[in-house]
Structures are given as structure tokens and as C-alpha cells.
A and B are shown apart, each in its own frame.
Chain A
Amino acid sequence: MKPTSDQPEESHAHDTHWVETTVARYQAPLTRYATRLLGDTERARDVVQDSFARLLAQPRDAVDGHAVEWLFTVCRHRALDVLRKEGRIMRFEEGAVDRVADAAPRPGHELERAETHAALLRLIGLLPANQQEVVRLKFQNGFSYKEISRITQLSVTNVGFLIHTAVARLRREWTAQAE
């Protein structure tokens, strides 16, 4: 099997490059996702390393075409294992990366945007854990409903409902804040 001509330039390189690209590109977002599931970065790093190790151990064909979704699925599975072993419920850290949102208004677009983001992140953090997870999978990691369904083992309908509910609630709370 050979590279097709419409693949990006880097795809023609060796697989080592692909591996490195995958890791470089997705280690951080995966760690962020795992941290949310586990509640601390240390354990998240372990789980993420483990997930990449498993990815590399897969025959390429098995994951080709959906490696990122595969990574998130495995990562989630491993994280839940950890939680089960420790007898902890699944949880998410909310508010841990907030910034100040209530300071007096300051000039400058950059600061305003940062404050807007912080305020919105805080609202996201107020959602129930399962809504937060699908919101992050959708809007932070770019997965489709179908992919989220596979990662989380929820039905597509359920995923759609959770996202709909979360988006509506965030919209409502957001416009309420703006007044």
C-alpha cells in the first residue's frame, strides 16, 4: 500500500515521523482529557503514556483512520480502571484553571477575551460531570457525536441530548452573566 497523492507532505515520511507527530500533537490534549477524568496530572500522565504505549503496540491497520479516537477510548478505559481500583467515582476538576473574571473591566481586547474565556470555562465547570465530558470531547477535542458515542459507550442519541442540554444551559447562563 502506498501513500495517496492527496495526503499532506508529512505523510510521505516514515512512520517514525507519524508516531512522533501523533505523540507531539495529542499528548497534551489527551493529558488534559485524562486529568479531567482522574483529577490530577500525575496519574493522568501515567495513563496517557500507557495509552501511547498501547497505540504503538497495535498493528498499524488496526488503528489506521481513527487513531485519535482510539487513543481517547483507551485513555478513558484506563482512567476508569484506575478510578475503579481506587474506589473513586469519576470526577472532574472544575474551576482549577479558572482565571479572574470579576475584576474591574480593563482595556484591551486580549484581556477581555481572556476574561470571557475564563468566565465560560467556569460555567462549563458547573455542569454535571457527564455533560462536561461530552462538551470537552466535542468542542475541545473535535470529535463527532458518533466518535463520542464510541469513546464513552453512550448511545448517539444520548450524546446528542447531553450536548444539546449543555449548550442550551451554557447559553442561558452566559447571557445571564452578560447582563
Chain B
Amino acid sequence: MNEAKLYPDDPRLTAYALGELEGDERAAVELALKTDAAARAAVDEIRDTARQLEAALAAEPMPTVKLIAATPAQRAAIVPGRDPRKLDGGPLPLQNLIRFPQACFLVAGLAAACFAVMLTLHESEVGRLEEPINAVKLEEIMKATAESHARKADADAAIVKPSSYTEVTFPVAAIPVGRVELQAKTQEIAEADKKVVLAEAMAPKQNVDAAAPVSRAVVAEKNQSPPQAVAADKTAMLGAAVASNQPAKEETIQISEFEVSAAPVHGYDASETMTGTRVNTAITDLPFADSDFLSVAQNPLSTFGLDAGMASYANVRRFLQAGGRPPADVVRIEELVNYFPYAYAAPRDHAPLAATLEVAAAPWAPTHRLVRIGLKAREVPAGGMRVTVAKDVKVQVAFNPAQVESYRLIGYNGSPLKNKDFSKNVIPPAGDLAAGHVVTALYEIVPVGVELPGGDALKYGKVESQESRVVGASSKELLIVTVRYTPPEGGASQQLEFPLMDHGAAFAEASMDFKFAAAVAGFGMILRDSPDKGSATLAEVEQWAGQGLGSDAGGYRAEFVGLVHQAEKLKE
């Protein structure tokens, strides 16, 4: 393969950058690099990233180790006289094993980890934190947690392993990885006008009963910092309620309740799993309810954000692998769907983005249509820094009232950007689109003539919009996706339109990516126990995912199927 051009998705670039290529392959890449400045820059970037990864991974704390020294009998097994080999791998001098006087920091880092997780959840939800979490509060919490952990660590370090080895124990604080019992102490932190009371929450005991204690977090003063509350459960997931800092509203005083729910929920007996904790986050004024179907007549336009985030998938995975069911509010379907790579066509000509639209029957409700909208930004040749290909991007979906009775955007629950806002002419979210960025949105559509879940018949009329093309009742299109943006170099705003015709495809006729995305959405709905999950079962989710596995580069989809198995096991 002696192509002159090295594209960003060529694994040889990384292999070469890391010194893994040899012989002819190496020579070929070097030749191509000679005339490709962008690719050379990409190689530099890869090496830079590699260095950062090495540094970060080297900083990752080590588990407790007890030095093992072999007995003389075992040493004798080794033929004397040879040199010890030149050992590769990341060398760690002995000193590093006991380098942690900040041990309490590390241990406390676990507590902080959970904050970080919840902060991430919060971030992805509202787009950005209104105010960063106060560093002082976190330090206090970390210290408090460290103290309780140091006590536990001592107990841990005393464990002796039976073996034929002689053991030497180092005084390193134990860093329990995995199930962690956390205690956050109640603290009052006075700071100028601020006053935050952190909840004291105890890790639930092994046998949870319905009368388990409820911990509350109460936020004080208005105008000030976000309230925080901490609840702990055995799988080390903290729930923290973070309210965005809204100025001068009495109503910002939020009370978050953390209760351990032992009631079985639709096949999941929470009392038998580790996690029964439900988290009510008071992030926005809107409850965490699943989207209802919206009638086209009253809500002709819909929108969705470009950045879905990845944290929810990792959190769901963590819960399931720990043997527990993720709380509904941890399951963000749009993040689950967007975690996976899909093959979308790149934009042609000079368009900054392209849309891939597909529609087929919704597998959990075959009389409904499921629409997949994929937006893919233009790639720039290898070596660019994160390049913006379009600024101020706004996405709008307009439905044809002759074909669509109602619709719902799957996921994005609790987002302050409800569809209703759109029809009140509230400005939709606009963001800059980076090169190569991809976002996927799913809509479930109730076609005209199909009865709504509620059984209500809806009237629909002409849909008008000043900003985008009218989807007239006589049009043959199911919907139109309109993307407005400003070119990065400036100039007048531009508009791209992507219509979608529905040819009545059955689910079986859909693409593999479609089937897989549907499986992920179905999985999310089951985990959330969504009223819209229709006839979806985990067994079917697994089937759909199986049909959508494809080549599964990177193993993402296979891992998902594994998670579905885990969830199925929970039911048993």
C-alpha cells in the first residue's frame, strides 16, 4: 500500500508515530510523510497525546501491594548464572510504592470521583455548569472521607495472605477499587454569604428494608452557591444534587431526597441488587419524566443539541457490572445512543455537514415510525487542531402534519429545552460544530391514523414557520431537517435542508446502524422503565443489537450486548 495520501483514520499514522512500524511499511509511511505536512503534524499530535496519556496513566494510583519475597526453595529453582533480562515495561522504582503521603488525597479521590461523575452528568445535561463547584466544599468532603477511610485502610492492610512467601507490608493506605462504602460527614461551611449544609448519608446496609433511612440535603441561602447533597450506596456511586445557580429566586432552595427504594420495579427486585438508590436531581425546574408525545399541531418544530456527552453510558456500564440497576436518572438515552460510532456519509462539495436520515418501523411499537437523524461534520485533513467547520449551528425538525400526528424526541429528558419552547420562539441551542463531529437523534413518530397511546384524536392544521420551510399538508415528505449555521470565516448565515420521505420500511429492512441504535434506545427505555418502551424486552433488545452488530470496529457493540446480558441477569 503506497498511497501518497495519509488520511486521519489510517492506523498506520498512529503505529508510525509510536514507533511500531518496521521495514517496508515504515519506509512507505515516511515517504508519504515527506510530501504531507498535515500528516506530519498529525504524527506530532499523536505523539503529544501519547505523552499525555503516559503521564496521566503513570499518575494513576497503584493498589496496595505487599512485597513478596520468594522463599529460598523457590529461588533455587532458577538456574543461576544468567543475567536478569533487560526488563521492559514501565519501571517503577521502589520509592513510588510509598510515595503517597497524599494517600488521604487518593482515598478521598474516590469520593471526589463520584462528584466528578455527577458533575459530568450535570454538565452534559444543561450544557455547562452555571457555576463551578466550590473547591472549598470539596476539599472538606475529601478530608472527611479520607479520615474515615484511613480507619478502614488500617483494617485492610492487616490482611495477611496465606502463602509460602514471606511478606513485607508497606504502610500504604489501601485504595479499595470496586465497592466502596462512603461516608460523607455533615458539614457546615460558612463562606461570606454562603452557607451550605451537606447531607450526611450512610451507606445502606446489606439488607435493605423499606423503612431505610432517608437522608436529606438542605440548601440554605438564596442567591448563592449550588446546594449539594451526598448519598452513598455500596457500589460507590454518589448522587449529588446540583442546582444551577439561579439568581435571586426564592425557589432555588431545593431539597433533595435520597431514599433507598426496596420496591421491585417491573422485573427488577431492587432489594436484591446493590443499588436501590434513586436520585432526584433538582437541576432544572422540569421533572425527570420521559418525553411525552407532542402533537404536531401544537408543537410543529423540534430541536436537539449537538453535544450529547458520553458519561451516561460509562455510568450505566458501571452499575450493571457491579451487579446493580442504574437509577433511571443516570440513564440518558441520547448519551447511550451517541456513545457508539455510526457510519455516516461525509458531506460533499463544501458543505460543512451532511445529514443521514432513515425511517423504519419502531421495533417496540411497529405501528409507529422510528426516525434516525445523523449529522456529520466535515473532516479536515489530518493535522488540524480541532477546527470549527460551522458556527452557531441550529437544528430544526419540522414534521408534516399530513403524515405525522405526534412525535417524541427520544432522550434529552429534563433538558430545559423542551420542544414547547421552540414554538414560543425561544432560540434553540446553537453551538459550534467541530470537524468530524457526529451526533445522532432518534424520533418516534405516531403516523396520522394511528391511535395515540392516550387514545386522543388530534386535530392538525397548517404548520407555519417564519424560519424554515413549511411542511405543507400536501407534501410527500415525512419531515424536514433544517440546519442553520454561520460560516466559520464569517458572512451571512446559511441554511441546509434535508427532507425525509417515508417509504414504509419495516424494521427488518433498516440498516444495521439503525437497528443497533434502536436497540440502544430500547435498552435505555427499559432501564428507565419508560412508559413509551412499548413491547420492548431485554431479549428483543439483544436481538436487535445482534442484527445491528456489523463489523463492530473497536468492539463497542459487542460490549453493549454484554451489558444487556448483565441486565438480564439482574432480573433473575
CB–CB A41/B89 < 8 A = no
Complex interface residues of chain A between 9 and 66 (CB less than 8 A to chain B) = 10-12, 14-29, 31-32, 35, 39-41, 44-46, 49, 52-53, 56-57, 59-61, 64-66
**Which B residues are in CB contact (< 8 Å) with A24?**
67, 94
| Residue from the list A16, A41, A135, A147 in contact with B177, Cβ < 8 A | A41
**Which A residues are in CB contact (< 8 Å) with B148?**
none
Decide yes or no whether A117 CB sits under 8 A from chain B.
yes
Decide yes or no whether B468 CB sits under 8 A from chain A.
no
Q: A139 CA to B57 CA in the complex, in Å?
A: 7
Decide yes or no whether B310 CB sits under 8 A from chain A.
yes
Q: How many residues on B have C-beta within 8 angstroms of the other chain's C-beta atoms?
A: 105
Decide yes or no whether A129 CB sits under 8 A from chain B.
yes
**Which B residues are in CB contact (< 8 Å) with A165?**
11, 553-554
Decide yes or no whether A163 CB sits under 8 A from chain B.
yes
CB–CB A99/B117 < 8 A = no
Q: Least Cβ distance of B182 to chain A in Å?
A: 12
Residues 83-103 of B, flagged 1 when their CB comes within 8 A of A and 0 if not, give 111111111101011000000
Decide yes or no whether B263 CB sits under 8 A from chain A.
no
- A11-B83, A167-B14 known; A121+B49 contact, CB < 8 A: no
CB–CB A101/B116 < 8 A = yes
**Which B residues are in CB contact (< 8 Å) with A102?**
115-116, 119-120, 123, 129, 132-133
CB–CB B56/A121 < 8 A = yes
| Residue from the list B10, B57, B555, B559 in contact with A121, Cβ < 8 A | B57
Decide yes or no whether A73 CB sits under 8 A from chain B.
no
- A28-B62, A93-B178 known; A174+B49 contact, CB < 8 A: yes
CB–CB B89/A172 < 8 A = no
CB–CB B57/A98 < 8 A = no
Interface residue stretch chosen among B68-76, B190-198, B449-457, B528-536 = B68-76
Most buried by A among B63, B80, B87, B310: B63
CB–CB A136/B132 < 8 A = no
Q: A99 CA to B63 CA in the complex, in Å?
A: 15
Residues 264-299 of B, flagged 1 when their CB comes within 8 A of A and 0 if not, give 000000000000000000000000000000000000
Q: A53 CA to B71 CA in the complex, in Å?
A: 11
**Which B residues are in CB contact (< 8 Å) with A68?**
87-89
**Which A residues are in CB contact (< 8 Å) with B123?**
102
Count of A-B residue pairs with CB < 8 Å: 300
**Which A residues are in CB contact (< 8 Å) with B9?**
164, 168
| Residue from the list B12, B135, B161, B313 in contact with A126, Cβ < 8 A | B313
CB–CB A145/B20 < 8 A = yes
| Residue from the list A23, A39, A46, A138 in contact with B178, Cβ < 8 A | A39
**Which A residues are in CB contact (< 8 Å) with B13?**
164
Q: Least Cβ distance of B245 to chain A in Å?
A: 13
Decide yes or no whether B214 CB sits under 8 A from chain A.
no
**Which A residues are in CB contact (< 8 Å) with B74?**
19, 53, 56-57
- A14-B80, A18-B84, A161-B11 known; A138+B18 contact, CB < 8 A: yes
Q: A38 CA to B57 CA in the complex, in Å?
A: 18
CB–CB A91/B321 < 8 A = yes
Decide yes or no whether B505 CB sits under 8 A from chain A.
no
Decide yes or no whether A82 CB sits under 8 A from chain B.
no
| Residue from the list B55, B106, B119, B134 in contact with A104, Cβ < 8 A | B134
CB–CB B59/A117 < 8 A = yes
**Which B residues are in CB contact (< 8 Å) with A168?**
8-9, 14
Decide yes or no whether B305 CB sits under 8 A from chain A.
no
CB–CB B110/A60 < 8 A = no
Residues 119-147 of B, flagged 1 when their CB comes within 8 A of A and 0 if not, give 11001000001001111001000100000
Residue of B nearest to A96 (CB): B177
Residues 142-179 of A, flagged 1 when their CB comes within 8 A of B and 0 if not, give 11110100000000010011111101101111111001
Q: A49 CA to B322 CA in the complex, in Å?
A: 24
Q: A103 CA to B140 CA in the complex, in Å?
A: 13
**Which A residues are in CB contact (< 8 Å) with B18?**
138, 145, 163
Decide yes or no whether B498 CB sits under 8 A from chain A.
no
CB–CB B318/A167 < 8 A = no
Decide yes or no whether B236 CB sits under 8 A from chain A.
yes
Q: A128 CA to B339 CA in the complex, in Å?
A: 10
Residue of B nearest to A44 (CB): B63
**Which B residues are in CB contact (< 8 Å) with A144?**
20
| Residue from the list A17, A96, A136 in contact with B110, Cβ < 8 A | A96
| Residue from the list B82, B129, B178 in contact with A40, Cβ < 8 A | B178
Q: Least Cβ distance of B155 to chain A in Å?
A: 13
**Which B residues are in CB contact (< 8 Å) with A64?**
82, 85
- A96-B177, A126-B313 known; A160+B11 contact, CB < 8 A: yes
Q: Least Cβ distance of B235 to chain A in Å?
A: 11
Decide yes or no whether B60 CB sits under 8 A from chain A.
yes
Decide yes or no whether B351 CB sits under 8 A from chain A.
no
Q: Least Cβ distance of B450 to chain A in Å?
A: 38
Decide yes or no whether B311 CB sits under 8 A from chain A.
yes
CB–CB A19/B70 < 8 A = yes
CB–CB A67/B161 < 8 A = no
Q: List 6 A-B contacts (CB under 8 A).
A: A3-B83, A23-B70, A24-B67, A41-B63, A99-B116, A168-B14
Additional A-B contact list (14), CB under 8 Å, known A45-B66, A67-B87, A113-B59: A3-B82, A20-B70, A59-B79, A95-B314, A97-B110, A98-B113, A98-B117, A100-B112, A100-B116, A103-B134, A140-B54, A157-B11, A165-B11, A172-B436
Chain A interface (Cβ < 8 Å from any Cβ of B): 1-4, 7, 10-12, 14-29, 31-32, 35, 39-41, 44-46, 49, 52-53, 56-57, 59-61, 64-69, 89, 91, 93-104, 106, 113-114, 116-118, 120-122, 124-126, 128-131, 135-136, 138-145, 147, 157, 160-165, 167-168, 170-176, 179
